[in-house]
Structure 1
Amino acid sequence: MVYYIRFLKTPRTQIVKPGLVSVSTLISITTDLGDAFLAEDVVLQAQLIDGTDINTKSNVLQESIFNWEAGKRELSISIGPVRVGSKISKVVLAIGPKTSSATLYTDLSNSRNVPLVISGWSAPFSIAQNAPAEKLIERRFILQDTRLRIWEETGNNIARHIWDAALAAIICLQDTINSSGECSMPRLQSRLRTKGKLQVIELGSGCGVVGIALAQILSNCSVTLTDLAEVDDIMTRNLQLSAPGSSTRFKVLDWEEELDADILQEPIDLVLVSDCTYNADSLPALVKTLDRLVQSSPEAVVLVSLKRRHESEAVFFDLMRQSALVVMEEAVHTLPAPYLDEDRIEMYIFARNKSSQSN
């Protein structure tokens, strides 16, 4: 399992004297669920960046090194005093594992490059006295052919966070699209390499990281991201941050309710489901929604990315079989875990069992 830098207290400034400021924050390093802390020593690098214009190349004002020690639950970070010019009105604090690279971006180009600790960037915040940053944290990723920026919330609502299986799904999609040799998921590869317009819908999108990544990777891809209304704010922010030219939209979708006709306007080629099987109570509604989507688009395939957290998730596969949605392909992608171990993320391609359908 990878670990994520999180702000327990978002960064804020303190004016030492005119033109000279310090920035402080309190962080933790936890799993995607926030249920365990990193129990391994890690050297961290903090960068204070000019955040006046987020569209310009980052201008690092000051860097500092900090040590996260095994057994810690939190770590105070303080950087400065640093002199800021009159043209700088906002700053950003970035924190990540120290590497030989000047950038703190997380490499998601393949499984081998993923670090144990995922870096985080604060929202731009004013250098005015004691001004805190918004309760958000940004993740920045290097993909094979593009870069991806995604906001999360700093609170405990798991719907607005990135989960491990989402990162593995992005790696799986890239590998499948770009593989030049034998592919473990040829049906998915054929679908992703289609020459025409690719219509994709993602269920339980959360922050939208998987769907937005795919829309940036494939120029012929149109992605509808769906989730409950509670993710609307974070989703809107992330759609605004996505690469120009990528085709994405967000629709509210409750699995307990009927599908909106707007979602079914065009035949769906691919359905994305990432880390949505952890809650056994919601599985019947999830499978019912998948069944309705495939009924409306019989040629659709479903990519399910999951990290098994408890035995009850096996019910998902039983419910899918009962709906004549069967596993056509499967693969495993790994993410790093402490002490050089690996975490297995399972990938499945489901499609309609046409023999059952004809019976």
Structure 2
Amino acid sequence: MEDFFDFSSQLMELTPSRPVEHLGDSDLSFGGKLQPALKIHEDGGESGCGGKVWIAGELLCEFLLEKSDSNGVLSKWQHEKDSQIPLQTVLELGSGTGLVGLCLGMMCKFRCEDSQIYITDIDQLVPLMERNIELNKIQNNVIAKKLWWGEPLESVFAPKEGIRTVDLILAADCVYLEKAFPLLEKTLLDLTDCEQPPVVLMSYKKRRKADKNFFRNIKKNFLVSEIKDFARYDQYLKQRTHLFQLIRITKA
């Protein structure tokens, strides 16, 4: 995998860096929607761009908070036609600091305690994610694990005999490095290779023209629709930041 490309160096080159002051701990309540506030440690870029908080992650956090309540994750959003299946097992891809999964973990700790959330990324970011889990004291429902896109899935994530093991897949700012596009696509295909595919939510900030290549290819196997029914859609749109649902196209 390391011979294929170096995640750290290439991601830092291709995504804009945040100011050096993005180092240390900060509290995020998302306009008071999350209480107590989420504590996030950013490493100032020590582990690459994944060690910082990005706007697409903030969008996905706000959407999850707005559309969930004590009845469960996304219980206020019609995500699957004629389906009341609870979204109890959640997997976040390319988690970085773990922002989105941690936000959901904090929410579930006080609203829907039976949810299990996995935040995943490359090896070098796992310690940062674990630090943020401990910082928020949500070890009971949030687990940090390594997951290299394109690699075979661990048994805890891989569908078994056509049955999904993950109910909801989250991806914030995962479309950034063109060489990684086929790897991300393969992982999404592997995770959704089942009779009732997981719900997939992807938040994305448009930065490069090459990004359209990912969405063009992914549409061969997924229906991609933009989600606009949330409170701050217009504000995020002005910052070229979008939220999509990916629905796996299943064979008849």
**TM-score normalized by the length of structure 2:** 0.75
Structure 2 unaligned blocks of 5 or more? 1-14, 70-74
Which amino acid counterpart does residue 99 of structure 2 have in structure 1? V
Q: Where does residue 196 of structure 2 map in the other structure? A: 298
Q: 217, 232, 246: which one pairs with 1:350?
A: 246
Q: 49, 58, 62: which one pairs with 1:171?
A: 62
Which amino acid counterpart does residue 303 of structure 1 have in structure 2? L
Q: Where does residue 280 of structure 1 map in the other structure? A: 178
Please state if 1:149 is matched with 2:43.
no
Equivalent position SS for 2:90: strand
Change over 3 Å in CA distance of 1:149–1:195 after alignment to 2? farther
Deviation track 1:57-107 (CA, whole Å, cap 9, x = no partner) reads xxxxxxxxxxxxxxxxx9xxxxxxxxxxxxxxxxxxxxxxxxxxxxxxxxx
Aligned-pair CA distance for 1:335: 4.7
CA contact (8 A) 2:157 2:165 kept: no
Deviation track 1:8-65 (CA, whole Å, cap 9, x = no partner) reads xxxxxxxxxxxxxxxxxxxxxxxx8326x7xxxxxxxxxxxxxxxxxxxxxxxxxxxx
Please state if 1:222 is matched with 2:222.
no
Which amino acid counterpart does residue 267 of structure 1 have in structure 2? T
Aligned-pair CA distance for 1:202: 0.6
Pairing 1:102-121 to 2, within 5 Å after superposition: none
Q: Where does residue 47 of structure 1 map in the other structure? A: none
CA contact (8 A) 1:278 1:308 kept: no
Which amino acid counterpart does residue 140 of structure 1 have in structure 2? D
Please state if 1:201 is matched with 2:91.
yes
Q: 116, 123, 133: which one pairs with 1:239?
A: 133
Aligned-pair CA distance for 1:271: 0.2
Deviation track 1:215-236 (CA, whole Å, cap 9, x = no partner) reads 2112232111111001022111
Change over 3 Å in CA distance of 1:142–1:270 after alignment to 2? same
Q: Quick one: distance in 1 between partners of 2:54 and 2:146? A: 20
Q: Where does residue 103 of structure 1 map in the other structure? A: none
Taking only aligned residues, the RMSD between alpha carbons, in angstroms, comes to: 3.1
CA contact (8 A) 1:268 1:297 kept: no
Change over 3 Å in CA distance of 1:312–1:238 after alignment to 2? same
Larger-Rg structure: 1
**TM-score normalized by the length of structure 1:** 0.54
Q: Where does residue 166 of structure 2 map in the other structure? A: 268
Equivalent position SS for 2:92: strand
Q: Where does residue 33 of structure 1 map in the other structure? A: 16
Change over 3 Å in CA distance of 1:334–1:221 after alignment to 2? farther
CA contact (8 A) 1:169 1:347 kept: yes
Equivalent position SS for 2:151: coil
Aligned-pair CA distance for 1:320: 1.2
Which is worse superposed, 257-266 or 227-236?
257-266
Change over 3 Å in CA distance of 1:352–1:342 after alignment to 2? closer
Q: Quick one: distance in 1 between partners of 2:157 and 2:186? A: 15
Structure 1 unaligned blocks of 5 or more? 1-31, 38-73, 75-118, 121-135
Structure number having the greater strand percentage: 1
Please state if 1:211 is matched with 2:98.
no
Q: Quick one: distance in 1 between partners of 2:133 and 2:76? A: 31
Q: Which has the higher contact order (CA 8 A, sep 6+)?
A: 2
CA contact (8 A) 1:203 1:272 kept: yes
Q: Where does residue 49 of structure 1 map in the other structure? A: none
Q: Where does residue 233 of structure 2 map in the other structure? A: 333
Q: Where does residue 289 of structure 1 map in the other structure? A: 187
Which amino acid counterpart does residue 148 of structure 1 have in structure 2? L
CA contact (8 A) 2:203 2:244 kept: yes
Which amino acid counterpart does residue 151 of structure 1 have in structure 2? H
